[in-house]
Amino acid sequence: MDDRTRLLSEWVDQPPAGPLVQYLRDAERRAVLETLDSPTHVLDIASETGVTRALPDDAAVTRVDFSPEASARERETLDGVETFASTTPESPTLPFGRSRFDAAVCVGPLDWRFLDADHLSREVSRVLTRGGTFAVTAPTPESPYHVGGRYELTYRTPDEFESVLAPHFHPNDQTYIYQPPEKVQWLAGTLPTGLERRVADYAQRRTETCSRDRASYVVTGATAPGYRARLDDALDCLLRPVAEQGFFDPETDRFHGRLDYSLTDTGAMRWRAGEGSRQRYGPLALLGVARWRQSPLGDDRYDDRISRLADGYETLVETEGDELPSYALGPLTGAFALLSMAGFDTLSVAEDAFARSRDRFAFDHSEDGLLLHGWSYLHDATGDPVEVTTALREGAQAVAARQDPETGLFAFDNPTTDRHQNQMYVLWGLCRAIEVAAGDGYLENATAVLDYTLDARLREDGALLWLEPGRIEELSVALGRGEYPQWKLLFACHQSFFAIAAAHYRRAGGDRNLDKPVERAMAWLHGTNDLGRDLTDLTGLGVPARHLTTDGRLDAPREQFKGAYEIGAYLFALTELTAW
């Protein structure tokens, strides 16, 4: 038996230990169990058997270990476990369907260098229900064992630990466990048991007031946001007929632009079909559907309706393509290219949309960045065609030339150029161009915009500002129209726009770790907002409410609707997050 197999087999059923080691085991176990809220089906991921035996008696327990030998040993030593399984730590794919468990625990394995902790986090999120709890522990560099074992095991700061969980989990309150310094720990181990127990009692008292920066171990009960289930709800909403409070218009085989709402006396939203530009809203909705369908998550359950939508928008390109704005032609090019990669006969339509946009736009408007985004998928679908590659490289250069050296933001001719969504549209296109054709020399340009966004627009609660507060010219326009000033409006779609930009930046090779910012941004949709509510629960549609004001209102004038483009972006973001 090799060393790794022996470690995996022996770790889970450890012999009795002295007071200081036992104190640590007990402290971890207590903290983990306190995070669980009456679970019905718990997944135990290779925890030490003392943890497994302490799980609630009325919960069904499934256990997964990281070697067949460890799993076989646990079958002999553990009672009360319904199912045993094993997986490979270097690629820990869990052999269970999604949303099977309402809780998972993992005490110990994050120490191991051969464990792909990021992959495990994604897999645990997949198999947990929306709102399920992941109770997990990790050692920090403050651990006394770090002194002699820093190259043997993995030690993470609390921030690094949160990054492992993000963006697949929203971390809750953490417990910080104190251990004495290495020399004290060693000395205590040489003392008689009674004296060593006193040191352990002291450590326990210190744990009750331990600060984040002094913790030897961190225990958190993170919440699963349920991205895959939310994606299914958003798909259903977008592809439902308008008559059923959806967005599919069976008369035109396109998306209806928007649904409007009024608030009842109880605060419920009453929905009706509204007015809205199908040319402007529908293409981005189709792009979100196409990205899902082309991804590994996609399946054929909506293919009949998607085919009708493809025909409807093909007619739009044929009849009005020369007048469509870049906001429409870019997403349509991308949508038809993605659908072609999913098996639909739409590649020629993507090529037509590209031809109609190639020479019409001078990249003087921030929404022209969506052309780069759409063209990049045509590049993927056609296998590096010279004309598309050239267009992407020229477009990336044109975008880079528009960057303000003082702020780092892109500065185009349109008056809304510096708004959050316009900056994100350009980032989508630039990052995708970098990934497929333009080279990473432009990553610095993308990083500058993201840095500005994190520093100036990402609020503490995770909301993203449309604009920074205090712009007199914007205030005067808003007051003149009877509207809220733009910096007092927080939009759900801005969270999606940022998540998409971060995913593209990550895939393009960017060096900023955006896991935690993306998690914070999505958590705002799910409860860290001023209402303390999941914004999806407010609508009854399966998608988040369009907006909140900074004083927690849902009734800002002219903003009481949900646009098809918002749901398309939400779908796109959820698809990217599920594969993050």
Query: What's this model's pTM, rounded to 2 decimal places?
Result: 0.92
Higher pLDDT, 188 or 334: 334
Encode pLDDT of 158-195 as tens digits. Answer: 999 999 999 999 998 899 999 999 888 888 778 788 88
Tell me whether residue 184 is exposed, middle or buried, using C-beta atoms within 10 angstroms of its C-beta: 0 to 12, 13 to 18, 19 or more. middle
Statement: residue 474 has pLDDT above 70: no
Mean pLDDT of 362-373: 97
The CA distances from residue 447 to 184, 405, 417, 507, in Å, are: 45, 13, 18, 13
pLDDT of residue 279: 74
Residue 140 · residue 158 · CB < 8 Å? yes
Encode pLDDT of 166-175 as tens digits. Answer: 999 999 889 9
What is the pLDDT of the chain when averaged over all its residues?
Answer: 92
Residues comprising the chain, all counted: 580
Contacts of 497 (CB under 8 A, 6+ apart): 420, 421, 424, 425, 569, 573
pLDDT of residue 122: 94
Encode pLDDT of 439-471 as tens digits. Answer: 999 999 999 999 999 999 999 999 999 988 765
Encode pLDDT of 292-304 as tens digits. Answer: 999 999 999 999 9
Structure tokens at 283: 């293409």
pLDDT of residue 195: 84
Encode pLDDT of 47-101 as tens digits. Answer: 988 899 999 989 999 999 998 888 888 898 888 899 999 999 999 999 999 999 9
pLDDT of residue 476: 46
**Number of C-beta neighbours around residue 190 at 10 A:** 8
**Start-to-end C-alpha separation, the chain:** 35
Alpha-carbon distance of 15 to 10, in angstroms, equals 9
